[in-house]
Structure 1
Amino acid sequence: MSKRKGLLLLLGLLLAVILCNTKVHANTEPKSFTIQYNGINITRYENYVVIYTYDKRTSDNKSGANQWGYEVSVDKDGIVVEMGVNVTFAPDGFIVSVHGQENINKIRDNVNIGDEVTYDTNTKTITFTFSILGSIRNLEKEIISLRNTKIELDLGAYDVDIEAINNDLNTLNNRYNELKQLGEEIKSLPIGSSERNAKLAVAEQKYAEAMSLLDEVSLKMIVPLKLEARGIWHRANVFNSEISLDKLRSNIEEFKSAGINQIYVETLWWGHSIGQSDLVDYHPNVRYSYGEYPDYLTAFIDLAHKAGIEVHAWTETFFHNQNHNHYPKWLKNNPSWLNLDFYGRYMQTGKGTEDGFVFIDPANEEVRQFLINYYVELANKFDLDGIQLDYIRYPAESSLETSSGYTPVAMNKFMERYNLSGDLKQLLIEEKSQGKKELYQKWCEFRAEQVTIFVEEVVKAIREVKPDMKISIAVGPDYQHALKDLMQDWKTWVEKGWIDIIAPMAYTFDTDYVKTVVNSMNDISNGLTYNYTGIGAYMEGPTLLYTNQILISRAADGLGSVIFASQNLLGKEEMKTALSKGLNKITAISPNADLDKILDAMFTYIIDKANRIYITKGLMTEEQKGALTEEFTRIKNMKMHNAGDYYLIQQEITKLNNNIHQYVRSVGAQRIKEDLYALIDNIDLKITRYLINYGYWDPTTGERPDPLTIEYPVIDVPVDENEEDKPGKNYDTLLYIIIGVASLGIIGTSVFVFMRRKR
């Protein structure tokens, strides 16, 4: 996988480090902020502030503190050079590491890149002083870094606008020189003088303008990917922004302009459906007229598809209400379906973010069948690209007392399985009093099994009506935690091949944690699924923090990302700019799109870059471009009806990749290889998913079979009589029917061509 991305992503990551929000102080003289610290080079406990020195750095050049805090990196001159969850040491510098929301907020609100920092070991205080002069010095370092990166991008023939970047860098350098001159003038003036204060105000304004331009040029340097999932979770009619067809269309256009190519629209929530259903009430939030469309979901799907955006039905499987807000009728009529906690309550109590939540019982077969019927209805009735299972779990728990699932149905099943008698809750209490947890562990395993049974059942039911439906899961990013605290055994679901797409919810301020999540997801899936990283923009950190997280996900071989949620994009100019001018500056094709669309998009993009970059740089001739175009056309015209066809296409692309130096030289060849490697990997995943979804392979039984050894179904379908034979197309039957036309004396010929097609 590293062959297909390599340096282009690492360059993007280098850029993301310098992207930061800049706060400009209104006062003229330096503003100081002081915070008490607990010690130097000690363990950072809860609500601690700790200084870590360079000589105590870890092997990866960090403080060694966990991700549940915030840090400031200070260089040897006492200037803040980096801020984040886990920063790196500047040579011979130190790190200020804080824990606790109050301390974190103080640092974020009062400290800037470029501030001067001192600490007093007697009073155990750290003082941060906003200094426009220090900020100007730091700006010079960032401009140098940008220029070095620009050189690498240019020499590497990457798809960025070098001319625009050069212009911006020249402008930025001029502004830096003005600021530098202004800084010298400020230093020569008496502190507190009106002239000094006036020049300080001018310097701060010019510095803010320079930093804004720096962010712009940094976004321009991010190398885009053509094959990438760019998803977003969307609540229907969020903030009443979709009360008409025109307003709904406007939101979808806004998604498109930001480069979004997948929308996970909240379809089943609060026990209601945003599409008309025979089983579930229509959601009150979307009871408006949507023109010629019968309901919100039908309108949303059609408009999104016309905009080139996939639509996946995001569903909250076992969570169906909160605090009786629009309590669903079907649940009122079936109170025995409710999931009960340890104290017999159906509403989660004292559970933090889940307080007031109402779940239904995964162990109840009536519940499972009801949900299966709804999912089959969704698959049959709506032109969806996928269905996503969220809240596919029990309520979160951290102890016996916070656990749930204590319904008569579930407890009776469990007691019968283990031949137990008496009251299950009393048995669990007695066991805990003895310092044991064997029975509780079995109870946890039993409940996780109930969720897994449902996943198997619902996937099978959907596949029977729509084998190509992409089934995704939004899950806890830490598999062990998800299994232990949520009864969510998603690792097993993936290993059994039931899932097409994993979207772990990596919601954090810590970019390193995102990398950990992606690596874990890739290890678990082992090539069985499309892996798209959930990005928690709802946490409302700096916009470019999430740009950085998406870049890190790319570098770790995530195939895309899904942003939570749309309310952090719609109407948010800063977020839209970060996407449309940076990560999503070109239109991307979704990795789970049909192969013919992916080939067309990728081949067209490569030839486009040939015209704009490779030929201009003398890396390719017009003749070589023409020959490469012919190869692309030949491959696009090959059959692509089943996994065997996919495999043959993959082999042809591999051959082309191995001989790419015949068409382009030097770094141009490396750039095209990266694109072709992405295609090769994508086709391999498509082969895997086809074999699993159509029942040709169970990944738990052994290695994937050779797709060329499988006999696929044949359905004969007529082909347009005007269609010319295409290279690589095999016709199984060819019939010529000659019809005499007496009145004209002309013999007409109609050709009916029958092809092998997959079922």
Structure 2
Amino acid sequence: MISAKKIITLILVLIFIFPLFPFSPLAEGESKYSYPVDTVNAYPRPSAITVYTPENGSTTGVKENYNALEIVVSDNKVVSTEGIDNNIPADGFVAAIRGNSLKAEIEGLNLKQGDTVIFDEYNMEVFFINENYAPFYEKTINFDRYNSTRTENTIIIYNKGQTTNTNIWGSEVTVDENGFVAIIGGNNSLIPEGGFVISAVGRDRIAELNAAAALGLKVTVDDRAKTITFSFSAESITGKMRVEYNNFAAAIDKAKENFAILDYSECENAKNKLNSLLSDSETSIENNDTAGAMIKKYEFEKFIRQSENLITEYPAVEERAVWLRPSNSDTRDKVNDTVKAIYDAGYNAICIELIYNSTAIFPVDSEKYLFSQDPGLKGFDVLKAYIEECHNYGIEVHGWMPCYRVSHGSTTYPKLAVSTLKPEWLVKAKSGTVEVGDTKGYFLNPALPEVKEFLLDFYRYILENYSLDGFQLDYIRYPYAAGEEFGYDDYTRQLFREKQGADPMDLTTSSPLWEEWCKFRASYVTDFVKEFSEMAREIRPDIFISADVAPDFRDVYKKYMQEAEIWLTEGYIDMAFPMAYGTNVIPLYSSFTVEAAGDRAYSYIGVSDYGVDVFKRQIVETREANADGFAFFSWSQYVAGNYVNGIASTALSVPALSPSYNATNALKAQAEYIKQHIETIKYINPSALTSDIENLVKNTAEEIISATNSGFAEDCVNIIKTALDSLNDISFDEKAKEVLVSDISKALKIATLSKDKAKREYYEENQSGDESAEESREDSETGGEVSRNESDDSSQTGNSDKEKGKPKTAIIIGSALIGILLAITLIFIIKRRKQK
């Protein structure tokens, strides 16, 4: 059986991604009526469209020598196509077009007064709709067969069974019972009753399917010709809206089934408005008024985006981290600006890279520790600045440490690299090379005692001198490169010969001792993690130890010799960040870490840059997987990909507290969340709870709040355990029990893993070093409860709070070249990502 929770997750995912997919590019017979908008209220760049809104001022300010065409639009209707520096209508905008070819193309549309022009500010597109408007088209692709195993480079149609039962390596398009494309992306998709799923595998076939499919297109299948035709017609305009409306309504129903904490009155109001817009659009289609239908479609999609938050249940406690690679041109002002931007974007934690480009981001004695500070920083302590400023904002700081990977072939400072200073320490491949992969990475040898002591001494220096909240071990593994195996230096080989009587050089993957050889190497990494953990906890009992790990624990001895599952079960680390990079891998890959971590450690799922729509879905998937949060790689890609605008006002619009930075406040917020769940359950199903159950849970939440007002999260463990035991012994509404047990179990995990007492002791002993964490703790105590209504209160954030000295930690503000240059840019991005 597919659980109701999974169904609602899928519905929420499609609601999130629906408005983000424009209709497909031009097909045969299709005319162009939509154009990308370059900028808004800015300098009009050549060969581009700039839109000017009333926020720009009374006129556009476009100058005569710009040789621009201006189209003045009021209430979505053309007022004028003459002149420049036009007045901007209060209820409209002006589109300024520069560039002779682009101007000629748009002038060829022969727009006149009264024609329709729509500016979609979300997708940054402008639509020109006149009497000749005919955007309809068809695209046809071939498919291979029905309901069979998906083999390489095939497209299969599934119309039988509950799901497609496919693996994570393809892509699928779901077609609903009315024949419209309802979902794009994913694998192992639910097969809708009366509908079907089109499933592709292989790069070319996936590209073929994705190029043809778009949300809302009508789909027809010709079994004889084995073709699938995707059609954009007038029917598609309202068909897409109907699908979106149905799923919005279904999301509300499923939320009720799961007792999700939503404002159901507002949800119903939004549903009614969407239905009204849909009806208006259908009426326009019946009257052959395509322009009118498109206007209503635009209003519908704008409103449904604004209503995403209404049908999303936001956790009160969730790690929202981002990996951050500082620049060697950073100044304190740049640090401050970056931290504020991260805070405004909805994040509560950063993982700051301590070593990059072979050098450190902080001053260090190179004679003693070998590492040198990046000369470009000129002595500026970037790490100290980030810690201070992040703590001002209540942001948790993890020191992201690349452990064994100490340099790479394109480093700016090869003479400063440890790999240059100590080449005898480098791990060696079976082929004899010490260079790893395309980036020519240089890794230290985990088996060498001097490497272990070198790293431990350096890490001790950091722990003793910086008020980090967490220490994150990255590249804590043997290197991996296709066709290479590493660990074949003379020292490691001799150790294995002494233990097993065989030279690893003579072994192959089919040798009886191969697994022992893999475990032998992995043991050195695990021993280091164990020793570092013991040292760190002695120096800093308050610090959280984490590791960036390969997400598939089944590959432990095949690639990386990284026994992350052991580190979790043995308690060597407090957190794991599985790097689940990919568009459809979160449900599978997060499960390994979540299961191994259990209640002993936190699971923060690593995600990366695959677009705003994919990220929204992945946030939902991490919550569905019962992970404790997520981390995005990386902040520079987040900014470049314009995630800030697409995420801060939607998926991260309601603030959440980190479970680890200040567990006491997090536990208090979770207690308030539990109280809200009681009220929601009573609202949806008054008979789900008896008064005894309600009092038990409410009293427990109040006890937690009272205890955290005067003490620490750790003081609440017994209170929570007692309540949880009692609740588990009572029989009542199954779904209500599942929800409350889950909420209270989360509270127990927060309390059990809390290090707040140790943190208080650390800061009391080191007050001259960093008092900001205590300041943010006192301030956040005034806002322990995280409610939906606070999410839009931008007046309590930003510079005004900074001027007061204590920004509130629980409030977050809602809201190219082509050809060779593009190829170079793409290669650069890929290489940078591979370094992670």
TM-score bracket for this pair, using the shorter chain length: 0.7 to 0.9
TM-aligned CA deviation for residue 676 of structure 1 = 3.9
Instruction: From the superposition, tell whether residues 136 and 286 of structure 1 become closer, same or farther in structure 2 (CA, over 3 Å).
Output: farther
TM-aligned CA deviation for residue 297 of structure 1 = 0.7
Partner of residue 136, structure 2? 30
Provide the rounded CA distance (Å) in 2 between the counterparts of 1:659 and 1:224: 28
Provide the rounded CA distance (Å) in 1 between the counterparts of 2:565 and 2:260: 37
- The question of whether the paired residues in 1 share the 8 Å contact of 2:406 and 2:444 is answered with yes
- Map of 1:363-442 to 2, 5 A cutoff? 363-397=447-481, 401-420=483-502, 424-425=504-505, 427-428=506-507, 436-442=510-516
Instruction: From the superposition, tell whether residues 100 and 590 of structure 1 become closer, same or farther in structure 2 (CA, over 3 Å).
Output: same
- The question of whether the paired residues in 1 share the 8 Å contact of 2:700 and 2:723 is answered with no
Instruction: From the superposition, tell whether residues 406 and 588 of structure 1 become closer, same or farther in structure 2 (CA, over 3 Å).
Output: same
Moved more, 492-501 or 112-121: 112-121
Provide the rounded CA distance (Å) in 1 between the counterparts of 2:202 and 2:257: 45
Moved more, 665-674 or 202-211: 665-674
Instruction: From the superposition, tell whether residues 203 and 100 of structure 1 become closer, same or farther in structure 2 (CA, over 3 Å).
Output: farther
Moved more, 201-210 or 40-49: 201-210
Provide the rounded CA distance (Å) in 2 between the counterparts of 1:534 and 1:666: 33
Partner of residue 555, structure 1? 624
SS at match of 2:340: helix
Write the deviation string for residues 416-438 of structure 1: whole angstroms up to 9, x where unpaired.
Answer: 22334xx752x23xx67xxx422
Instruction: From the superposition, tell whether residues 393 and 547 of structure 1 become closer, same or farther in structure 2 (CA, over 3 Å).
Output: same
Provide the rounded CA distance (Å) in 1 between the counterparts of 2:700 and 2:562: 48
SS at match of 1:596: helix
Instruction: From the superposition, tell whether residues 109 and 679 of structure 1 become closer, same or farther in structure 2 (CA, over 3 Å).
Output: same
- Map of 1:343-354 to 2, 5 A cutoff? 343-348=431-436, 351=437
Letter in 2 for 1:413: L
Partner of residue 589, structure 1? 657
The structure 1 residue matched to 2:382, chosen from 280, 296, 314, is 296
- The question of whether the paired residues in 1 share the 8 Å contact of 2:496 and 2:517 is answered with yes
TM-aligned CA deviation for residue 231 of structure 1 = 1.3
Letter in 2 for 1:113: L
- The question of whether the paired residues in 2 share the 8 Å contact of 1:298 and 1:382 is answered with yes
Moved more, 19-28 or 605-614: 605-614
- Map of 1:312-323 to 2, 5 A cutoff? 312-323=398-409
Moved more, 578-587 or 482-491: 578-587
- The question of whether the paired residues in 2 share the 8 Å contact of 1:9 and 1:554 is answered with no
TM-aligned CA deviation for residue 8 of structure 1 = 8.2
Partner of residue 112, structure 1? 214
Instruction: From the superposition, tell whether residues 108 and 667 of structure 1 become closer, same or farther in structure 2 (CA, over 3 Å).
Output: closer
Provide the rounded CA distance (Å) in 1 between the counterparts of 2:721 and 2:479: 47
The structure 1 residue matched to 2:529, chosen from 435, 445, 455, is 455
Provide the rounded CA distance (Å) in 1 between the counterparts of 2:376 and 2:6: 41
Provide the rounded CA distance (Å) in 2 between the counterparts of 1:649 and 1:285: 53
| TM-score, normalised via structure 2 length | 0.68
Two-structure CA RMSD over aligned residues (Å): 4.0
- Map of 1:139-288 to 2, 5 A cutoff? 139-150=241-252, 159-162=261-264, 164-186=266-288, 199-200=289-290, 203-204=293-294, 206-237=296-327, 243-278=330-365, 279-282=369-372, 284=374, 287=377
- Map of 1:471-486 to 2, 5 A cutoff? 471-486=545-560
SS at match of 1:503: strand
| TM-score, normalised via structure 1 length | 0.75
SS at match of 2:336: helix
Letter in 2 for 1:635: A
- The question of whether the paired residues in 2 share the 8 Å contact of 1:16 and 1:547 is answered with yes
- The question of whether the paired residues in 2 share the 8 Å contact of 1:243 and 1:288 is answered with no
Instruction: From the superposition, tell whether residues 448 and 157 of structure 1 become closer, same or farther in structure 2 (CA, over 3 Å).
Output: closer
Letter in 2 for 1:50: I
Partner of residue 51, structure 1? 157
Letter in 2 for 1:98: A
- The question of whether the paired residues in 1 share the 8 Å contact of 2:4 and 2:258 is answered with no
Stretches of structure 2 lacking an aligned partner (at least 5 in a row): 25-31, 34-133, 766-836
- The question of whether the paired residues in 2 share the 8 Å contact of 1:262 and 1:310 is answered with yes
Instruction: Say whether residues 1:518 and 2:517 are aligned partners.
Output: no
TM-aligned CA deviation for residue 313 of structure 1 = 0.7
Provide the rounded CA distance (Å) in 1 between the counterparts of 2:519 and 2:704: 52
| Identity between Structure 1 and Structure 2 (%) | 26
Write the deviation string for residues 433-484 of structure 1: whole angstroms up to 9, x where unpaired.
Answer: xxx4224333222211121121122222212211221111111111121332
TM-aligned CA deviation for residue 489 of structure 1 = 1.3
TM-aligned CA deviation for residue 675 of structure 1 = 4.5
Instruction: From the superposition, tell whether residues 346 and 601 of structure 1 become closer, same or farther in structure 2 (CA, over 3 Å).
Output: same
Moved more, 101-110 or 556-565: 101-110
Partner of residue 67, structure 1? 168
Write the deviation string for residues 220-254 of structure 1: whole angstroms up to 9, x where unpaired.
Answer: 321111111111112113xx8x7332222122112
Provide the rounded CA distance (Å) in 1 between the counterparts of 2:617 and 2:433: 43
TM-aligned CA deviation for residue 403 of structure 1 = 0.7
Provide the rounded CA distance (Å) in 1 between the counterparts of 2:6 and 2:660: 21
Letter in 2 for 1:134: S
Letter in 2 for 1:315: M
Instruction: Say whether residues 1:338 and 2:426 are aligned partners.
Output: yes
SS at match of 2:287: helix
Provide the rounded CA distance (Å) in 1 between the counterparts of 2:576 and 2:517: 27
Letter in 2 for 1:38: D
SS at match of 1:320: strand
- The question of whether the paired residues in 1 share the 8 Å contact of 2:322 and 2:350 is answered with yes
- The question of whether the paired residues in 2 share the 8 Å contact of 1:47 and 1:100 is answered with yes
Partner of residue 39, structure 1? 145
Letter in 2 for 1:514: I
TM-aligned CA deviation for residue 382 of structure 1 = 0.7
Partner of residue 530, structure 1? 602
SS at match of 2:307: helix
Write the deviation string for residues 690-714 of structure 1: whole angstroms up to 9, x where unpaired.
Answer: 99x9xxxxxxxxxxxxxxxxxxxxx
- The question of whether the paired residues in 2 share the 8 Å contact of 1:251 and 1:570 is answered with no
Instruction: From the superposition, tell whether residues 525 and 636 of structure 1 become closer, same or farther in structure 2 (CA, over 3 Å).
Output: closer
TM-aligned CA deviation for residue 264 of structure 1 = 0.9
Moved more, 497-506 or 276-285: 276-285
Partner of residue 583, structure 2? 509
Provide the rounded CA distance (Å) in 2 between the counterparts of 1:673 and 1:638: 26
